[in-house]
Amino acid sequence: MTKQRRTFTPELKREAASLVLDQGYSYIEAAQSLGLVESVWRRRVSQLQQERGGVTPTSKVLTPEQQKSKNW
C-alpha cells in the first residue's frame, strides 16, 4: 500500500506563510490550523520572506512555474 503525496495550491501556501508573517501565528499554530506539518511550513515561510525581500527562491519546493511567476 503506497501513501499518496499531498499537493497544495499556491493559495494555501500563501495563506499558511501569511499566518506566520502577517498575523503573528507560531509555526505550530499555523500548521495545526490548516492541518499541515510544521516543518514544511517553515520552508514556505522562509521562501516567502526571501521573495518579499526580492530574492527568487531556487528550492525544489517550488515548481518552475512558481519560481518564474513569484506569485505563490
69 C-beta neighbours (distance < 10 Å), count: 12
The residue-averaged pLDDT of 7-28 equals 84
Task: Convert the pLDDT of each residue in 18-62 to its tens digit.
Answer: 888 899 999 888 888 888 778 777 888 888 888 888 887 665 555
Domain ranges of the chain: 10-69
Residue 72 pLDDT exceeds 50:
no
The answer to whether the beta carbons of residues 40 and 12 sit under 8 Å apart is no
Q: What is the CATH number of domain 10-69?
A: 1.10.10
Give the predicted TM-score (pTM) of the model. 0.58
Q: Provide the H-helix boundaries in the chain.
A: 10-21, 27-34, 38-52, 64-69
